[in-house]
Structure 1
Amino acid sequence: MELEQVLHMNGGVGKTSYATNSLHPRAVISLVKPIVNASIEQLCGKLFSDCLKIADLGCSSGPNTLLVVSDIIHNIHAAFQKLNRPYPTIQVFLNDLPGNDFNTVFRSLPGFYKKFEEELKLGPCFITAMPGSFYGRLFPNNSLCIKSHDPLCIWEVVGLKLNDMVLEGLIEDEKLDTFDLPYYAPTTKEVEDVIEAEGSLTLQSLEVLKNDWDSYIKRADGRLDRKARAAVLATDIRAVGEPILATQFGEAAMDDLFRRFEEDVLDHMDRENCQYISLVISLTKKR
């Protein structure tokens, strides 16, 4: 099966869906707001267009999808108000792989439009989906103003639990041996080198954000004990990784896998310095 067909978050709005378990991306969105705000204000001072076009690459589904869009639109309107210029029309392209649950996003659009048009008076906004891999071609040349990207999550402890399940005969050894999900986290120097070598973009800023695996859970509810935090973390990772794992190892193995993950993940965090690393990059196209 093609990777693009199974590489997506859990759809719907159930208890293991990404829509219900996307607290960590929401926390990162909040952390990067000041950087995004500054970049948009700088951009709007240079743009003279009646229609600004925005692409969210890796939009997924659930409340965070339109939260990012909402924040960007607010920033654009604030910038144009500060510049005493008329508000532009906004066109938004939501991009993810074809298996993404775009239907859940579409069902939330009427309420989103109503809020912007009636409550906030922020002018016209048009949102559409652009399914496909951003490693290929999605848009015409020189057609976008603003892009954002939401990266994937962790796999280290999930891999440890899969090995345990092989040793106990709960999944087939061959299925683990043939499971390959390449993931590479670059250093900031490697990112800078790639941007420089490609040549068409100027690096405006690059910031590194570091957070412990469960810090976003503690911030959301400081009353949760270790076991409760482990349960939240396990479900969040399940919402991201279950579709591709279930394709390889079967749906029947998923409950046991993530139960084991929940039991061991915080012990692993005590032994290792486990952090989410987010690179926040602002680029402009060279003229």
Structure 2
Amino acid sequence: MEVANVLHMTEGIGDCSYAKNSLFQQKVILMTKSITDEAISALYRSLSTGETICIAELGCSSGPNTFLPVSQLIQTIREECTSNGQQLPEFHVFLNDLPGNDFNTIFRLLPTFHEDLKKQNMRSGDGLLFDPPNCFVAGVAGSFYTRLFPSKKLHFVHSSYSLHWLSQVPDGIENNKGTIYAASTSPSSVLKAYSKQYERDFATFLKYRSEELVEGGRMVLTMPGRENEHHLSNVCRFMLEPLAIALKDLVTEGLIEEEKVNSFNFPLYCPSPAEIKYIVEKEGSFTIDLLKTLEHQMDFSCEGYNEAQSVRVVGQPLLVRHFGDDDKLMDVVFNKCSDIYANIMANEKNIFTNVIVSLIKRND
């Protein structure tokens, strides 16, 4: 499966779109705001006055979450400028995702984004603090496992809930039968294959970003993860276990072939902090400023519909590629997922672990 040519979130702004089913991801962005604020503040203080700041949002998808981190970063720098009596710099923002991403929706939201930036500069009763920031936005289509930007162009890179996607389904996992991801029931060889694929991909990501960032440039990356080497990710389980159960039910009902399910696996892996640390240190282009886990709880709805929708907007393009473009089949799959969330997983304690790493590019 060529992930870069297939993977994308469901487009548009309708009820079944990623834009309307990404509150989980939004909660993570807000939860990690203080870490991102500290990193962008430290970066700004290290730059020359008036220097244009280039920011890349990698895995931006489409909808309100696309602009949320960018708005937060600009707001933090605005506060730095206010406290120091400086004028806001200009901003060049690159919004990146795979070619199948719904960039049209992003561009249609640009006027609202610029209007929100103007409102950030309003102080009650005082009018404008200073002119609204000059912020120039561009879309960049391509995999972040390749080069995306000119050398030493970027100052700051942000990515949230994107780097758990692998560049490909790992090789050598044909024996991962009965599930569709690196699950607790998977053979050790499958778990190792997923880990090795993640190591290769994340090292590649670091290598290319190091070529694109200025010296002292920074990155803040947030991924669904796991506490340590002895636990598998509850985020992966939450997303994919109901789907795996639903597909097995369809095999029993004769609606899809067992071999078709056995040959399907998600290109998704949730790392531990130890894995992140090992890869960063081995690759050698960055120093770790901060590495930690944050936990949050997910409350299930009674019907399980919202949870199934949140998985559908992420996973359906991959399912369609493998099982065929059959809307009725997809409806059956995710109706089953709704029931599983409501009747099985709703009774469990769902605490999700996120891994956050703040990185500084080493001097060349």
What TM-score does the superposition give when structure 2 sets the normalisation length? 0.71
Q: Which residue of 2 aligns with 1:222?
A: none
Partner of 1:175: 260
Q: What do residues 171-207 of structure 1 show as CA deviations (whole Å, max 9, x unaligned)? A: 2223212223232221111111111111110100112
Aligned residue in 2 for 1:39: 39
Unaligned runs of 5+ in 1: 218-224
The 5 A counterparts of 1:17-56 are 17-48=17-48, 50-56=51-57
Letter in 2 for 1:44: Y
Which residues of 2 match residues 69-218 of structure 1 at below 5 A?
Answer: 69-117=70-118, 120=121, 121-152=131-162, 154-212=239-297, 214-215=298-299
Q: Deviations over 1:139-170 (max 9, x none)?
A: 12221111111225632221121111111111
Aligned match for 1:269, one of 345, 354, 359? 345
From the superposition, tell whether residues 36 and 163 of structure 1 become closer, same or farther in structure 2 (CA, over 3 Å): same
Q: Distance in 1 between matches of 2:142 and 2:103?
A: 12
Contact 1:61 1:102 in 2 (8 A): yes
Separation in structure 1 between the aligned mates of residue 152 and residue 353 of structure 2, nearest angstrom: 31
- Deviation, 1:262, is 0.8
CA separation of 1:36 and 1:11: change in aligned 2, threshold 3 A: same
Q: Cα distance 1:61–1:118, how it changes in 2: closer, same or farther (>3 A)?
A: same
1:240 aligns with 2:314: yes
Q: Deviations 1:25-83 (Å, cap 9, x if unpaired)?
A: 11111111111111111221112252000001100001110112111111121122223
Q: Distance in 1 between matches of 2:314 and 2:307?
A: 11
Q: Is residue 2:345 matched to residue 1:260?
A: no
Q: In angstroms, what is the RMSD of aligned CA positions?
A: 2.0
The percent of aligned pairs where both chains have the same amino acid is 39
Aligned residues: 276
Q: Which has the higher contact order (CA 8 A, sep 6+)?
A: 1
SS at match of 1:95: strand
- Mapped contact 2:272–2:355 kept (Cα < 8 A): no
Q: C-alpha distance in 1, partners of 2:43/2:72? A: 15
Q: Quick one: distance in 1 between partners of 2:314 and 2:244?
A: 14
Q: Which has the higher helix share?
A: 1
Corresponding letter in the other structure for 1:191: I
Q: Find the aligned partners of 1:277 and 1:7 in 2 and give their Cα distance.
A: 24
Q: Distance in 2 between matches of 1:116 and 1:182?
A: 36
Q: CA, structure 1 residues 123+183, in 2 after alignment: closer, same or farther (shift >3 Å)?
A: closer
CA distance in structure 1 between the partners assigned to 2:157 and 2:29 by the alignment = 14
Are residues 119 and 189 of structure 1, via their aligned partners in 2, closer, same or farther at CA, if it must alter by over 3 Å? closer
Q: Contact 1:19–1:63 (CA<8 Å) still a contact in 2?
A: yes
5+ residue gaps, structure 2: 122-130, 163-235
Q: Is the 8 A contact 1:56 1:95 kept in 2?
A: yes
**Matching residue's letter, 2:116:** K
Change (3 A) 1:158 1:97: same
Partner of 1:8: 8
Q: Does 1:280 align with 2:356?
A: yes
Q: Could you tell me whether the CA contact under 8 Å between 1:45 and 1:83 is conserved in 2?
A: no
Whole-angstrom distance in 1 between the partners of 2:151 and 2:285: 13
Give me the whole-angstrom Cα distance separating, in 2, the residues matched to 1:266 and 1:172: 26
